[in-house]
Each structure stands twice: as C-alpha cells, then as structure tokens.
Chain A
Amino acid sequence: MSSAGLERPQLVAHVQQALNYTLFDCKWVPRSARLLCLGSAARGTGILQLYELQGGRLALLREIEKAKPLKCGTFGATSLQQRYLATGDFGGNLNVWNLEAPEIPVYSVKGHKEIINSIDGVGGLGIGEGAPEIVTGSRDGTVKVWDPRQKDTPVANMEPVQGESKRDCWTVAFGNAYNQEERVVCAGYDNGDIKLFDLKTMSLRWETNIKNGVCSVEFDRKDVNMNKLVATSLEGKFHVFDMRTQHPTKGFASVSEKAQKSTIWQVRHLPQNRDVFMTSGGAGSLHLWKYEYPAQRSKKDSEGAEMGVAGSVSLLQNVTLSTQPISSLDWSPDKKGLCVCGAFDQTVRVLIVTKLNKV
C-alpha cells in the first residue's frame, strides 16, 4: 500500500458495540453525540436504545421497550428543540415519540395493514421549508404521507389501482422541498419500480423500472431543487439519476454502477457534501463514492427537447466490517465524517471517515 493510497479517505472503525437484539435502524440524535438504535428483541417486542459516545465507547443512556418490533425511524419532521422520533413498526403503526417521556406517543396512527418498511421526514430540524411531514412505505404496496397535526388520515396516499396486484414498497424518500408548496416523494418497490410523486400537483411525475428490487432511494438534499437521486437495488447495482432535467419521454438521465456482488442495502449522502455518498452492502462492506458532474448537465436531443446528461461515479474507499449485511447507515449532521452503521450481526459500529475535506 503506497502512501498515495493513504491520501484517500480512510474509514476508521471507532467504536463497536454488541447488542442482544436484531438491529434494524440506527440514527444520530441531531445536535448531539447521541445515537439511537431501533430493533426487535428475541421475544418479539420492539427495542429502542439511546447511546452516547463517551471516550472510546458507547454508553447506554436509555432503553425503551415497545409492543411491536420497530423497523425504521426518523428525526426528519421534528423541530430541533423537540427532537421527537417518528417510528414505523412491524404492525404498520406510525408513532411519534418524545424520548423524554416515551410511554405515550405524541402521535400515533395505524397507518398500514402490513409492516412499514421505510420512513422519512421533512420540514423539521431547521432544514427545508413547509409543513413537517412524514412519509411511510409499507409491504401493503401503499405510500402514505402524514402530517402530525392531522389525526388518523394521511394527507396523501399513493396506492395501487383497484384490482392491481400489489408490490411491496421497500423504500421512500422526500425531496425537492425548497419552498413551502413544492415537495416530492420518491418510492422504490420490490419489482424494480421507482415512482416519483409530486405532492403539489398530487400526481405521478415520473416512473421507471430498474429491473431489480429497489432497496433504498435518497435525494442528495431534501431541501433544494431536486438535484440527484441515488437508487440502490438487489444484485449489487445502484443508479444515480440526474434530476435537474426531465425529458418528456426518456425521463431522467442516469448512470449505474455495479459495485458489490450482493444487495446494496442503503445509500446515504454526506450531509456536508452532497456529491459524496456511502453505500452499504449485503456482504458487510461499505463503499464511499464520489459523483462527478459532466461538463454539460443537459443537452438538446433530436427534437429540441432538453435531456439530462449523467455524470460519473468513482469509488473513493471501501472496507469490509462484518460478514452480515449492513442494513442501516446514518451520517452525523453535526460532525463531518462521523457515521453509524448497524448490521445483522447484532453490532452497531461508529466509524469516522477521514480526509473528507480533500475530496
């Protein structure tokens, strides 16, 4: 290994903590050095643990047990002061918890008939404009958007047409929330469909199929005009779509990369640099990528319609941490390079990625 190799960002494993339950999601608590782990205990109940980074280890601050196993959670739709956690569980319930008083949820609704696979929030944490909203995607094939001020009914519901056989929704993400009216939800399904719903016009804006089940979608930033969308799928492929230019028939331009031989479970963009993202794989590996824009982001096609041009993706670093899939990944919004990942070997790991300034 030459010294040139050491100039690239390094993924340093900082802390590792073994847990006694299956970990499904891990998230940093905003504006703090605390992190949250959500999962399912062996006896079939949900576990929520709050850890703090102290010295070289994680200290457990709180442990909360809930009736149903918890699958996913987000802080995206709460204010920085309140820092309420929105969770989706195996029974299809959406709950918003105040971690200081977690016995009764602040908001609760049985949103779906089946497990909520993915959740996202927008409008909180001082990021973006507009009302705070939560979107959930479930195995029952529907994607629902909730406003914590409105009880029981979602403010938007994306469901299959009557008689259509449903496909599981595996992932959801908010985007394009750059002013109070605009908002977009992107959902990925197990048959490879990616659908983009515009909430301002309440319509389907774009859809495509990437042939393999979509495990994770994320916009590079939720609170700007849609710039890039990364969608990861089974069989080791991920696609980066350039969302600035939509062609009337061809949709958005994309570049795809086959990185790992196994499923790519998650993609997360670095909050401090929207062109750097990390993907986590089914073989327990993490890959750090950088997107480079093309010389011209759009060009005219034969009929004069604007068409986007996709750039290129390059691998900065990769590391294998575990033998089991790394199912959840989160960057700390406060410290550049600090991230937490949770794997199915019941371990949560805190990593530090160095030299991101030079990327």
Chain B
Amino acid sequence: MPVWLRDYSWRQTGSAVYLSLPLRGVRVTAANIFCTDQYLKVSVPPFLFEAILYAPIDDTNSTAKIGNGIIFFTLHKKEVAMWDSLTLANADREKLQYLRENAVLKAHEKAKEETEAKKVTKQEHKKYALEATMKLEEADRKRIENLKEKERQKVTKELELWKKQQKDAEKQKRVQKEGELYQEVEQSKEKKKEKMIKTRIPNEGTSKTGLKPTKGHGSYSMFSENLKEEQLPAPRSAATIKINFTSRVFPTALRESRIAEEEEWLRKQAEARRTISADLSELEDLKEEEKNPDWLKDKGNKMFATGNYLAAVNAYNLAVRLNNKLPLLYLNRAACHLKLRNLHKAIEDSSKALELLTPPVPDNENARVKAYVRRGTAFCQLELYTEGLQDYEAALKIDPKNETVEKDAEKIRHLIQGTTQDS
C-alpha cells in the first residue's frame, strides 16, 4: 500500500497555480511525475500523491522543479479564474477511477501525436534536402547539355557549309567536263583531218598538248582514260600461295577451351616425367637404361605383345618404383593383370591410373576409356556386374562411338537382367 502524501501547500494567481510538495528522503526524477490536463500524480515508491485538479491546466507549459526534498509545480491554468480549492472536492471513487483512466489515455494520445509530428517534420526536412541537391545537379547537367548542344550546332553548320561547297565544286566540274568533252570532240575531228593531210605536224603537236591528263583532280576526260590504261600495269600473272594454319595443341577456340584444365594436365605430365623416386639404393646395380621408366615401359609393352605377361608386370613394377606418377604404367600393368587373371590387382591399377588421369581433358580421353574398360572387365570377371556396367557406361560417355564397348555393355546388361530374373 502506498503512502499517501497529504501535506502539500499551494497558492494561486489568476493564471497559475503554485503547488509545493515536500518529499523527504527520496529521490525524484521526471519519470515519477505524471500530469495531464486535469490530473496530477507523483509516484515515488512508497509515496504517492494524486490530485484531480479543480480546472483544466495547460500541461505542456506547466513545469515542475525538483530539488531540496521538495517538488515545486507551476501549473498554468487554461482558463483564467480563481479556484476554490486545488482538487475537486466531491470526487467519489468511480469518478476518480474514470478520471484516472481518461488521464492515462489522454497522455498516450498526446505522446502519439508528438511522435507523429516529429516524424512529419523529419520527412519534410529530408525532402527539402533532397530537392535542393536535385536542383543543383539539374543545373550542372543543363550546363553540360548546353555546351554539347552548342558544339552540335556548330558542327552541323560546318557540315552544311561543306556540303554546299561540294555541290558547287561538282557543278563546276560538270561544266568543266562538258567543256573538255567538247574540246575533245573538236580535236578528234581535227585528228581525222590530220590523218588525211599528213603535213599538218604543228597542229598535231597542239592537239597532243590538249590531251595532257590532269592528275589527281578527279576530272578525267574520255581520252585520258585510254591513256591511263596504257599507264596501268597489265593484270598480274595469276599465281597461288599455299598457306598453313597454326595448329593448336587443343583444337578449340580460345574462348571455348578449358584452358586452365588443359594447362594443368600438361603441367602434370611434365612433372610426372621429371619425378624420380628417391629410393635408389637397391637400384644401383641396374644399368643406366634400366633406370629410365619410359624404356622400361617400352620393354613391358613388348613383352605384353609377345604374351610374356609376368615379365611385363616385372618391368612395369620397376618402372613404377622409379616414377609412380605416370598413369600409363598403371594402365598397362592393369592389362597384364587382366590377362593373368589377377583381377583385384587389375582393378587397383586401373583405379590408380584413373586417379592420375585427372583433370579430364580431350588429350587423355583414350587413356581414360581404356582404364574404364579394363576395370569394367575385371569387375565382370569377378561377377560384380553392376560395377562393371558402371565402368563401361563411363567409357561410353567419353567415347560414344566405340562399338566394341557398346556391344560389351549390352552383353553385361543382358547378364544382369538374366540374373535378376533368376533370383
């Protein structure tokens, strides 16, 4: 239960009420005071002071001065009148309640209105600022447009002038041409006469001077064209030049090439050729060429071709010890293992080869097809038909035109379907 504060003192003038409320021993802040136009409340737990004012006041202009254990209110009356008392005397409980609630509502509304008003002013300020910047930019743009426009007009005028000049020049040329043509016709008549009368040599001379072509002015007469033909060299004797085009390592246009991958593949190849394993202690008694993985690979291939599969495997094993980054070694060894029916080893080797054959580029297509086919075969011989089919399909994806692979894939599919039917 709050402690009601009843010992307050007040005095009034015509327009204001001065209320002083002692509050000893507690600190009061602005938050503890609640005031609307007819209701005043000060709540500092555990103390509570409440007053329903005699007449409405202007609560926005009224003030409260807090300090020294006392609150001093200056309440400005809405109507200038003298109050009989500070509070409404005959206030029963319900009225009190009603007034309180009203007061709270009113306060809320006021708060809302204030925030609204604030928002509106803020918006207006923003708008104003925006408009101001827009105007400035507009002015700038206009200035530039004007400059450009002036340029355009100037340039258009020059163009028209030039056109006029052209037209005049053309007219002149036409007149000139006609004049010359007339001249030529006259001279040709004269020439004919001269051919008949051979003695008129000096006149020929003059007619020839009349025929001198005017160079580079574009006004060619009929006769000068004939002369020009004589001056022009004869048409070139026909000849053919054979050309070659630049070959590309990968024949795709630069924009289509997956150049990063291709470079990586080339780099890997180069590195693979260079790596030599460090474990050479046992190999010191080998001949020089036997330490070369490529030579060993060739040896292995030859032995595979003659059917000596164990020897081929030995050769490949040694080569792998020397350089375990060459995918072809694993590929060929897988083929040997297949022939020897070491199926698990064949699968291992094909898988290793495929690992080394990344990134997948057109250059290592063939190798990858072979690897898939060999692994597929090994799976099938182990009766793991589904895995085998997967590998065959992968091979087909790389090289869809390979018929043997197609046929084998078909066979496997039939087999699988056969076994599922049985079981």
A142 to B225, CA, bound (A): 33
| Least distance between B389 CB and chain A CB atoms (Å) | 37
Judge whether B218 and A12 touch: CB under 8 Å: no
Nearest A-chain residue to B228, judged by Cβ? A79
Provide the residues of chain A in CB contact with B147, threshold 8 Å.
6
Chain B CB within 8 A of A44 CB: no
Provide the residues of chain B in CB contact with A320, threshold 8 Å.
none
Contact digits for B154-175, partner A, Cβ 8 Å, 1 yes 0 no:
0110011011001000100000
Q: State which of A33, A149, A150, A209 has its C-beta within 8 Å of the C-beta of B163.
A: A33
Judge whether A191 and B246 touch: CB under 8 Å: yes
Provide the residues of chain B in CB contact with A352, threshold 8 Å.
152, 155-156, 159
Provide the residues of chain B in CB contact with A12, threshold 8 Å.
148, 151-152, 155
Judge whether A155 and B243 touch: CB under 8 Å: no
Judge whether A191 and B248 touch: CB under 8 Å: yes
A264 to B220, CA, bound (A): 39
Q: Assuming A131-B232, A153-B238, A164-B245, is B166 touching A33 (CB within 8 A)? A: yes
Provide the residues of chain A in CB contact with B232, threshold 8 Å.
130-132
Judge whether A159 and B245 touch: CB under 8 Å: no
Chain A CB within 8 A of B404 CB: no
Provide the residues of chain B in CB contact with A110, threshold 8 Å.
none
Judge whether A31 and B218 touch: CB under 8 Å: yes
Q: Assuming A33-B166, A190-B253, A354-B151, is B242 touching A160 (CB within 8 A)? A: yes
Interface size, chain B (Cβ < 8 Å): 37
A145 to B238, CA, bound (A): 9
Provide the residues of chain A in CB contact with B237, threshold 8 Å.
155
Interface size range on A against B: 35 or more
Judge whether A31 and B166 touch: CB under 8 Å: yes
Judge whether A80 and B241 touch: CB under 8 Å: no
Nearest B-chain residue to A337, judged by Cβ? B155
Judge whether A80 and B245 touch: CB under 8 Å: no
Judge whether B144 and A81 touch: CB under 8 Å: no
Chain A CB within 8 A of B202 CB: no
A207 to B246, CA, bound (A): 9
Judge whether B156 and A154 touch: CB under 8 Å: no
Judge whether B236 and A131 touch: CB under 8 Å: yes
Chain A CB within 8 A of B235 CB: yes
Q: Which of A206-228 contact B (CB under 8 A)?
A: 207, 209, 211-213
Chain B CB within 8 A of A334 CB: yes
| Least distance between B136 CB and chain A CB atoms (Å) | 15
Chain B CB within 8 A of A299 CB: no
Chain B CB within 8 A of A197 CB: yes
Q: Which residues of B contact A (CB under 8 A)?
A: 144, 147-148, 151-152, 155-156, 159-160, 162-163, 166, 170, 216, 218-220, 225, 232-246, 248, 253-255
Q: Which residues of A contact B (CB under 8 A)?
A: 1, 6, 10, 12, 14, 31-33, 53, 55-56, 79-81, 126, 130-133, 145, 147, 149-150, 153-161, 164-167, 180-181, 189-193, 195, 197, 199, 202-204, 207, 209, 211-213, 234-235, 334-335, 337-338, 352, 354
Can you list 21 A-B pairs with a CB-CB distance of less than 8 A? A10-B148, A12-B151, A14-B159, A56-B156, A79-B220, A80-B218, A81-B220, A126-B218, A130-B233, A131-B232, A131-B234, A153-B238, A156-B239, A159-B241, A160-B242, A161-B243, A193-B246, A203-B241, A234-B255, A352-B152, A352-B156
